Amino acid sequence: MSGTKLLMTFPVTATSHTLADYRARGGYRALEKALNQMKPEEVTREVTASGVLGHGGAAFPVGRKWAVVKLNDGQPHYLCCNADEGEPGTFKDRWILEHDPHLLLESMLIASYALGVRHSFVYIRGEFDLPYRRLAGAVEEAYEAGYFGERILGTDFACDVVVYRGAGSYVCGEASGLITSIEGKKGYPRNRPPRLTVHGLYQRPTVVNNVETLANVAGIIARGADAYKKVGTPKSPGTQLVSISGHINRPGVYEVEYGYPLAKFLYEDCGGILGARALKALIPGGISTKVLTGAEAESLIYDHASFAKAGSSLGSGGMIVIAEGTCMVRLLQVMLRFYHHESCGQCTPCRDGMGWLHRIIDRIVAGEGVPEDIERMQAISRANDGTTICGMGDAAGYATVAILEKFRDEFDYWIAHKRSRCDGRLEVPGHA
Amino acid sequence: MLELFIDGKPVRAEKNETVLQAAVANGISIPYFCWHPRLSVPGNCRICLVEVEDEKGGNWTDIACNMPVAEGMRVLTDSDAVRAHRKAMLQLILLNHPVDCGICDKAGECALQDYHYEYSGLRSVSRDAKVRATKFHPLSERIVLDNERCILCSRCVRFTHEISKSHALGIQERGDHSLVRAVEDGRFDADPYSDNVIDLCPVGALLSRSFLYKARVWYLQATPSVCPGCERGCTVQIWHRKPEWHLSALDPRQNTAIARVTPLENPNVNGPWICNKGRDLARIFERPRAEQAMLTGVPTELSAATAAARRLVAAAKRPVALVSSWGSNEELAAFKAHLGGRFASFVKQDCRPAPGEPLEDDLLIRPDKNPNTAGARKLFGDAAPAFRNDTDLVLVWGEGFDFARLPRGAKTIVLDAYAHPDNARADVFLPVSIQTERQGHYTNFAGVVSAFEPCFPKRASVADAERLFVSLAAAVEALA
Amino acid sequence: MKHLIAEFEALKTRFPPGSDSSLVLPCLRRIQEERGYIAEADIDGLVDYLGVPRIQIEEVLSFYTQFRRKPIGRWHLQVCHNVSCSMRGAEPILDHLARKLGVAPGQTTPDGRFTLSTVECLGSCGTAPVVVVNDAYHENTSIEQLDAFLRSLK
């Protein structure tokens, strides 16, 4: 069953998200251990030693990010949990918010302790309803139980948490856009330098971590870094919550141990492709990761190195399964419409480039494409590579280039024949 | 200080500078739209991208405006990668930019035009219609905004947040539907520095209504001058038609009109800004002029009037002079030298603040609305004007005198540039030239002396006050 | 919005000191929860209460898709048409609702009951297709289920 579990270790019930249930499965003991037995620096060292990587998409070593924050520098530090989960295909942080919110809160308390944070935030996308209510409920339970506020567990440690609701903007899932949104403004991402760990929220040292990333912290402290490293692979310790959707028989959230064979995951754990169709393509980790052909995907091991070697990445773990017969031109059209809609508009390449890409693909789909359009899309993607304020421009470019490269014939066909080679279909018939 | 290399050339820079600042300080040109030396760094236009050499072989590129200098760093501003990048950025900026050059006021002083010709020159490769947006959007009563031309550099927005502090501009919406807009409560109309955004705008998106369609910028020349609107004495450029672009067929007044006024950058006084009053100098300088000398309202030749004035000066026993705070240092010195001995002289503050005019602020605006009170007081002290019972001659130089205050029985000589009904009440009225018709200097409230140059010729029937003072004293000196 | 100030003051207690600007989004959301949209007087009131420049609030209202300055229909039907939902039938659902209600996406029915919108990924791809009605996620939905839901509203 997709390997060892670190997070999805209990059956989901009507009460598994409550404080009582969480305590019953050992909750808040890691916090006790951290506050009573460890110094803040020791917590960071343990997290670093575990080798845990970020689970929001960038896979940056968590301990290395934390270590930039200098303790006792006389200024406030902030921790922001990124629960914006806007990357299409991704819905795994939601599992934690709905079913194990206290795990996140305990982990945030431990992280706040390690980082000298007095005020922490969970930035949760505005559209989330149940995840928000569960999280907000857990926050109130935690405050009542004395896990937030002053003198936590009888120590000098004090911490507050604010659940900050977004209002409909994908770029607020970018760490600096998230911070600017918490400041009460438009979610405009920022240039680096300075790093957010030096000048972040209100220009103070700020750590932004994904929900799942933080959710791993309590376990690392409870059971130790060595225990964590025993799971997964040497370069990819631990597990990933994978959200799988699209043309798959059993969509949902699965915890996959790094190193697990992808084909096994798709065909055994998730029940295989709808209508027993062949796997045409796989978007591995949210639409901002490069698409893999079915053949490429089936040979992969689920870990960072394997996917990097294949020219893609694990991303946010948002896997989208694409069955044979799906029109890749229409798929790209949906993606480019999304990027165009979500571009914040600050920087030239993304602002003008996303609109241009969208207009070109719309024109191709309308039967007015020309062969140069493909080169043009590739050039626009190149113009967004490493030239933008945030990663959205690059991501859109990479995603576009990968689809054009691997499914070029479909685009050539549409341009030449003014229609899809696959009847423009995105659904598998009979399985909508 | 540290040393880096830009295109192989060693350059010294402060430790906290960026590569762009170091380049600008050393005369190395890197294109930019959104960067401005006086505003925060948004890094959004992406055209200042440069390449940095890495000994290990992995050269990297990034925007120069946000790139900290480092000891020994090797920056390339003209490599193949940088050139390709600039072309790509210009293509993207021009993607939706309407090629309005033929009807756009900014043509000839437009950074986008200049960079396009220097770095690209390529035709558009887009087959798709340009994104449309509002044209002629009334951003304020003074400024019109063309959103299609706007490249969203945010300079105007940042100006209102960081410099004028009116917080009056913002960018609405997102993506390529973003629009610069003024706050809806009309605050931008009340920002006395609003028009600086017109200078800041690198393209023809923000335009002055008063200058709209008046002239192509290459028809105009800019003459350095000093704004007389207050004692700050901001240095300005007064733009007017070059002689070779004078219009022969139309109203000749077009050829001696002020087309527009812009700041003359001055690190000692106003930096790169002026307030809106300075933009409106035509409202001051182009008021109806007094062009005819008069004797108690009867028009006469300038020479006759001068002679009459001379006789009055020679005959006066207790003459009082009200000296203009709009006089140049040169004129004031001439008065002092030739008539100062004869007259009990007081400095008159010609202009009072108009109702509703901003009085003073933290930026440029000062309460004394006269350009050379300091220069005048240096010569004539700061006592308030006072008449005595035996004052028998009052010489009023400049505006702002209430004739009702004249002592009974005193004769009057009035020197003024502008038509006022009271001019006809003077025993002798002598029309004089204004600042734009001669050379001179003003001293501002902090003692900084700034120069102005002439823009237009003066009429023959109008005198230069400086020469008039010599002339009026001739009789006195003859007597002595 | 003045009657909400006590609530806003309570919110402030968990925020860091001096971060009044951060209250903009939560206050706007709360105001919109009650009124259904943000009115001019609400903006003025918030400017007074938080001391932020009015332009900041105007920008925020135009940038985020969830804020609106005009009322919409009683029932806001938001159809996700991003990748996974499109792969599980979002487009026929959107067409069906548009035809049934007689409005195009972005419009409100003349009787003011329904507003139809398209939205991007809602973070619910595993239960695609998804339609959000006001705040509630209708997951694993279908034309039949939505028709039944609409009938239930009568």
**Domains of chain A by start residue, with CATH:** 19-230 (3.40.50.11540), 242-323 (3.10.20.600), 328-417 (1.20.1440.230)
Residue C7: pLDDT over 90: yes
Whole-angstrom distance, CA of residue A418 vs CA of residue A366: 7
Contacts C53 to B, Cβ<8 Å = 161, 167, 183
Contacts B43 to A, Cβ<8 Å = 191, 347, 389
Quote the strand ranges of B201-301, DSSP E.
Answer: 206-208, 220-226, 235-241, 260-263, 294-295, 298-299
Of residues B118 and B121, more confidently modeled: B118
pLDDT tens profile C15-33: 999 999 999 999 999 999 9
Of residues B475 and A314, more confidently modeled: A314
Which residue has tokens 């996308």?
A125
∠ CA B453-B455-B460, rounded to 5°? 105
Rounded to the nearest integer, the mean pLDDT of chain C is 97
Instruction: Nearest chain A residue to B48 by CA: give it.
Output: A387
User: Long-range contacts: B165-172, Cβ < 8 Å, 24+?
Assistant: B166/B190, B166/B191, B166/B193, B166/B194, B167/C53, B167/C54, B167/C55, B167/C56, B168/B194, B168/C55, B169/B139, B169/B197, B169/C55, B170/C55, B170/C56, B170/C58, B170/C59, B171/A186, B171/A345, B171/C59, B172/C58, B172/C59, B172/C62, B172/C63
What's the pLDDT score for residue A202? Answer: 98
Q: Does B178 touch chain C (CB under 8 A)?
A: no
Residues B235 and B298 in one domain: no
Q: What residue spans in chain C does CATH classification 3.40.30.10 cover? A: 75-152
Residues C106-132 as b/e (b if ≥16 CB within 10 A, e otherwise) read: ebbeeeeebbbbbbbbbbbbbbbbbbb
**Interface test mutation site (partner C, options A92, A365, A427, max chain C beta carbons within 10 A):** A427
Contacts A128 to C, Cβ<8 Å = 123
Size of interface A-C (CB pairs under 8 A): 162
Take residue B80 and report the two structure tokens written for it. 């193949």
Residue C89 has its nearest CB partner, among A165, A334, A432, at A432
CATH number where B431 lies: 3.40.50.740
Residue B65: pLDDT over 90: yes
**Interface test mutation site (partner A, options C8, C54, C63, max chain A beta carbons within 10 A):** C63
Whole-angstrom distance, CA of residue A215 vs CA of residue A213: 5
The answer for residues whose C-beta is within 8 angstroms of residue B380's C-beta and 6 or more apart is B323, B332, B336, B340, B345, B346, B347
**Interface test mutation site (partner A, options B46, B62, B63, B154, max chain A beta carbons within 10 A):** B46
- In contact, B223 and B258? CB cutoff 8 Å: no
Residues B347 and B454 in one domain: yes
- Report how many domains make up chain B: 3
Whole-angstrom distance, CA of residue C8 vs CA of residue B294: 73
What's the pLDDT score for residue B400? Answer: 95
Nearest to B106 by CA among B193, B197, B205, B33: B205
Q: Does C47 touch chain A (CB under 8 A)?
A: no
Residue B172 has its nearest CB partner, among C53, C54, C59, at C59
Kind plus residue range of the DSSP H or E element containing A177: helix A175-182
Take residue C123 and report the two structure tokens written for it. 């973070």
Instruction: Nearest chain A residue to B96 by CA: give it.
Output: A352
Residues B248 and B331 in one domain: no
**In the structure, what pLDDT confidence band is assigned to residue B55 with cuts at 50, 70 and 90?**
confident
Single residue among B269, B285, B301 that ends a domain in this structure: B285
Instruction: Nearest chain A residue to B125 by CA: give it.
Output: A376
User: C83 and A431 in contact by Cβ < 8 A?
Assistant: no
What's the pLDDT score for residue B475? Answer: 65
Report the sign of the C-alpha dihedral through residues C108, C109, C112, C115, in that order: negative
Residue C126 has its nearest CB partner, among A125, A245, A431, at A245
- In contact, A127 and C132? CB cutoff 8 Å: yes
CA distance C21 to chain A (A): 5
Residues B212 and B271 in one domain: yes
**Interface test mutation site (partner C, options A170, A185, A392, max chain C beta carbons within 10 A):** A185
Residues B406 and B258 in one domain: no
The fold for domain C75-152 equals: Glutaredoxin (3.40.30)
Whole-angstrom distance, CA of residue A247 vs CA of residue B427: 101
Residues B178 and B144 in one domain: yes
Rounded to the nearest integer, the mean pLDDT of chain B is 96
What's the pLDDT score for residue B250? Answer: 73
Q: Does C122 touch chain A (CB under 8 A)?
A: yes
Residue B173 has its nearest CB partner, among C54, C55, C62, at C62
What's the pLDDT score for residue A432? Answer: 64
The fold for domain C2-63 equals: Arc Repressor Mutant, subunit A (1.10.10)
Which residue has tokens 């040169």?
B330
Note down the domain range covering B454: 293-479
Instruction: Nearest chain B residue to C55 by CA: give it.
Output: B183
Q: Does B254 touch chain A (CB under 8 A)?
A: no
Residue B175: pLDDT over 70: yes
CA distance C136 to chain B (A): 26
Percent of chain C at pLDDT above 70? Answer: 100
Contact partners for chain C, using 3 or more CB pairs closer than 8 A, are A, B
- In contact, B237 and B223? CB cutoff 8 Å: yes
Spell out, as residue ranges, where chain A has pLDDT lower than 50. Answer: none
**B 5-64 → A contacts, CB under 8 A:** 41-47, 49, 61, 63
User: A432 and C129 in contact by Cβ < 8 A?
Assistant: yes
Whole-angstrom distance, CA of residue B132 vs CA of residue A423: 33
Residues B263 and B328 in one domain: no
Residues B154 and B79 in one domain: no
Q: Which amino acid is at B279?
A: R
Quote the strand ranges of B300-364, DSSP E.
Answer: 319-324, 344-348
Residues B181 and B132 in one domain: yes
CATH number where B52 lies: 3.10.20.740
Residues B425 and B447 in one domain: yes
Residue A243 has its nearest CB partner, among C25, C59, C125, at C125
A→B contacts (Cβ < 8 Å), by residue, are 169, 186, 191, 193, 340-349, 351-356, 359-360, 363, 370, 372-373, 376, 379-380, 382-383, 386-389
CATH number where B164 lies: 3.30.70.20
Question: Is B122 a domain residue?
Answer: no
Of residues B255 and C35, more confidently modeled: C35
Q: Which residues pair with A216 in a beta bridge?
A: none
Residue A119 has its nearest CB partner, among C15, C26, C119, at C15
pLDDT tens profile C59-97: 999 999 999 999 999 999 999 999 999 999 999 999 999
CA distance A15 to chain C (A): 20
Residue C84 has its nearest CB partner, among A76, A89, A252, at A89
Nearest to B452 by CA among B303, B278, B301: B278
What's the pLDDT score for residue B247? Answer: 84
Residue B95 has its nearest CB partner, among A342, A356, A379, at A356
User: A352 and B128 in contact by Cβ < 8 A?
Assistant: no
Residue B476: pLDDT over 80: no
What's the pLDDT score for residue B252? Answer: 80
Contact partners for chain A, using 3 or more CB pairs closer than 8 A, are B, C
What's the pLDDT score for residue A430? Answer: 84
Instruction: Nearest chain B residue to A191 by CA: give it.
Output: B43
Contacts C120 to A, Cβ<8 Å = 86, 88, 170, 338, 341-342
Q: Does C59 touch chain B (CB under 8 A)?
A: yes
What's the pLDDT score for residue B480? Answer: 54
Nearest to A46 by CA among A218, A257, A241: A218
Residues B363 and B280 in one domain: no
Classify residue B94 by burial, with Cβ atoms within 10 Å: 0-12, 13-18, 19+: buried
| pTM of the shown model | 0.96
Q: Does C55 touch chain B (CB under 8 A)?
A: yes
What's the pLDDT score for residue B477? Answer: 60
User: C54 and B184 in contact by Cβ < 8 A?
Assistant: yes
Whole-angstrom distance, CA of residue A414 vs CA of residue B4: 52
**A 276-315 → C contacts, CB under 8 A:** 283, 287
Asked if the interface predicted TM-score (ipTM) of this complex is over 0.85, the answer is yes
Q: Which amino acid is at A346?
A: Q
Residues B324 and B275 in one domain: no
Whole-angstrom distance, CA of residue B16 vs CA of residue B22: 10
The 10 Å Cβ neighbour count of residue B253 is: 9
Question: Is B106 a domain residue?
Answer: no
User: A78 and C60 in contact by Cβ < 8 A?
Assistant: no
Q: What residue spans in chain C does CATH classification 1.10.10 cover? A: 2-63
**Interface test mutation site (partner A, options B33, B69, B128, B181, max chain A beta carbons within 10 A):** B128
- In contact, B338 and B350? CB cutoff 8 Å: no
Which residue has tokens 């141990």?
A257
Residue A186 has its nearest CB partner, among C21, C26, C60, at C60
